[in-house]
Amino acid sequence: MSETNLDRRKLLGRAAAAGLLATPAAGLLSACVGGGDDETQEQAQGEKSATNPLGVDPKAELEVVIFNGGLGTKYATDVHIPSYKKAFPEANVKFSQAEEIATVLQPRFTSNTPPDMVNNAGSKLMDQGALVQAGQVQDLTDLFAAPSLDDPSKALKDTLVPGTVEQGTFNGKPYVLNYAFTTFGLWYSDKLFKANGWTAPKTWSEFTALLDQIKAKGITPYAYAGANASYYQYLVILTTAAKIGGPDVLKNIDNLEDGAWTAEPVKQAAQLWGEIGAKYMLKAHLGMKHTEVQLQQNQDRVAFYPSGSWLENEQAKDTPAGFNYAVIPVPSATSSDKLPQTAIYAAAGEMYFVSSKGKNPRGGMEYLRHMLSKEGAKGFTQLTKVLTVVQGATEGMTISPGLTSSEAMLKAAGSDYFAYRFDTWYKKLDDEARAATNELMFSGGNADKFVTRMQKVADAVKKDPSIEKFKR
């Protein structure tokens, strides 16, 4: 995004607030925002050709940083990097991984020495909206217009699941590749349920009746980790809100519409889930991390756990044989819901972006092109048990129980899937939603307090002139 469109002083305030700057010193302004030749590293460039449509320098080093979380990093080291190296054998690919992306990379963006391609994910991810606003993210228009590695007659964008490019778009320009096509729902052990004769619920009354049966067995009916996974839970709250009132409920939240958070469907959803928290959860889980609570589920001490389709891979080492992960949609809330019971939250997620001020942004985009090949996508799914946005990449694959269940849920949803974007556009709202959700679910919060608290912060973001606003 060009500096002519943005007030440099506003950018400083925004970036400092987001933690992109260590201190709001005047000397850091140009370093964060960029704009002059003296502020950007010398960038590699090669000759464009049919086999090198992005003009990559075949000898230039490429630096890649991957988040080490639920998906691991083997897909990068064993699939995507070798694919890039095959095309550019003289190029060194410098790889590193991090569990706290913001902690590791914020100083490098501040000093204008960022890596070329970043997987921005995890509980300590960087504020993606602030990075875009600060001009630190490469416009990916050329990438999506480039030919597919599988079929040079097709533009890359035409080989992807519909909505992929839009999911990473900020004010009309694509800046982020959301690569993993993730489905979200309530996960459980198929073995445990079959052993007890439990049937996956479709309605809210069936859901609570089953939770009562599970509780009577001495098993925690429902759980999530309050220490770092509360966004799993606010996601299902908003899923229920979207089912009640339709997907525009989430669109209004994204667009910072007046009263979007205090709308009746959001309040109803918060009320329903607050009751689940009060009756069926353990307060001890408030201080636990996601892997600790997920381990309890693997030990049959927890029945339902809200998460995305990365869960099965994340717990692979701790999952006993025959556990058989399965997932269901969030149950219908009322008989008058605007969306069917089969509707789900599903979206292109797991953000990957190219640094506009890196040494090799063309190489960074080319790396993403290799990720978006069928072989790149197939290898990712085989190693992570998570689908990608590449159409047809799983054809002929033997897939795991959890991924099989996830695919069946997606197929049943048809076109009734939805997503929100405020969490990547406005980190302040994401942070507040996590805290407000924990209060609602663990600390005796109530629906009125939840929606009022969220609306107050949304209004503050809307009125803050230093924060660029995004629309969909």
pLDDT digit string, tens, across residues 188-227: 999 999 999 999 999 999 999 999 999 999 999 999 999 9
- Please check whether residues 315 and 454 belong to one and the same domain: yes
Selection from 251, 170, 248 nearest residue 425 by Cα:
170
b (16+ CB within 10 A) / e for 321-341: eebbbbbbbbbbbeeebebeb
Taking residues 380-400, report their average pLDDT: 88
Is residue 21 assigned to a domain?
yes
Q: Is residue 387 part of a domain?
A: yes
pLDDT band at 398; cut points 50, 70, 90: confident
Shared domain check, 261 and 160? no
Cα 286 to Cα 125, 174, 186, 427, 444: the distances in Å are 21, 37, 19, 21, 12
Question: Is 430 in a helix, a strand, or coil?
Answer: helix
Mean pLDDT of 129-153: 96
Q: Tell me: pLDDT of 19 over 90.
A: no
Q: What average pLDDT does the structure give for the chain?
A: 90
Give the whole-number percent of the chain exceeding pLDDT 70. 92
- Using an 8 Å Cβ cutoff, are 445 and 361 in contact? no
Same domain, residue pair 94 and 78:
yes
Statement to judge: residues 208 and 87 lie in one domain: no
Are 322 and 197 members of one domain?
Answer: yes
Buried b (16+ CB within 10 A) or exposed e, 205-214: eebbebbeeb
Let me know the angle formed at the C-alpha of 332 by 266 and 232, rounded to the nearest 5 degrees. 60
The pLDDT confidence band at residue 39, using thresholds 50, 70 and 90, is: low
Same-domain check for residues 61 and 153:
yes
In the structure, what pLDDT confidence band is assigned to residue 395 with cuts at 50, 70 and 90? confident
Helices 361-371, 374-384: inter-axial angle, 10-degree rounding: 70
Tell me the C-alpha to C-alpha distance, in Å, between residue 8 and each of 11, 12, 31, 35, 334.
5, 6, 11, 10, 49
Domain membership flag for residue 406? no
The answer to whether residue 409 sits within a structural domain is no
Q: Which domain holds residue 33?
A: 3-174+355-394
DSSP assignment letter at 300? T
**CATH no. for residue 66?**
3.40.190.10
The mean pLDDT of 269-282, rounded to a whole number, is 98
Could you tell me which of 46, 64, 43 has the C-alpha nearest to residue 55? 46
Task: Taking residues 376-386, report their average pLDDT.
Answer: 92
Q: Provide the pLDDT for residue 33.
A: 34
Say which residue, 355 or 347, is predicted with more confidence: 355
Beta carbons within 10 angstroms of residue 272's beta carbon:
20
Could you tell me if 264 and 148 lie in one domain?
no
Are 196 and 227 part of one and the same domain?
yes
pLDDT score for 40: 63
CB 256 within 8 A of CB 455: no
**How deeply is 266 buried, as exposed, middle or buried, from its count of CB atoms within 10 A (0-12, 13-18, 19+)?**
buried
Say if strands 344-354 and 117-120 run parallel, antiparallel, or are unpaired. Answer: antiparallel
Average pLDDT over residues 375-384: 94
Q: How far apart are CA 20 and CA 102, in angstroms?
A: 8
In a domain, 66, yes or no: yes
pLDDT, tens digit, 9 for 90 and up, residues 223-258: 999 999 999 999 999 999 999 999 999 999 999 999
214 alpha-carbon distance from chain centroid: 31
CA distance 214 to 276: 13
| Residues 276, 135 share a domain | no
Percent share of the chain, pLDDT over 90: 82
- Residue 6 has a pLDDT of 34
3-class secondary-structure state, position 116: coil
pLDDT tens, 426-446?
A: 999 999 999 999 999 999 999
Report the C-alpha gap between 395 and 407 in whole angstroms.
12
pLDDT at residue 17, as a whole number: 33
* pLDDT-wise least confident of 25-34, 62-71, 152-161, 173-182: 25-34
**Count of the separate structural domains present in the chain:** 2
Same domain, 226 and 337: yes
The verdict on 193 and 258 lying in the same domain is yes
Alpha carbons 208 and 333: distance in angstroms, whole number: 11
Residues 141 and 16 reside in one and the same domain: yes
Q: Give a yes or no: residue 317 inside a domain.
A: yes
What's the rounded mean pLDDT across residues 118-129? Answer: 92
CA pair distance 441, 279, nearest whole angstrom: 10
Question: How many CA within 13 A on the CB side of residue 265?
Answer: 24
Answer whether residue 380 is part of any domain.
Answer: yes
Does residue 130 sit within a domain?
Answer: yes
DSSP, residue by residue, 326-351: EEEPPPB-STT-SS-TT-EEEEEEEE
Rounded to whole angstroms, the Cα distance separating 290 from 295 reads 9
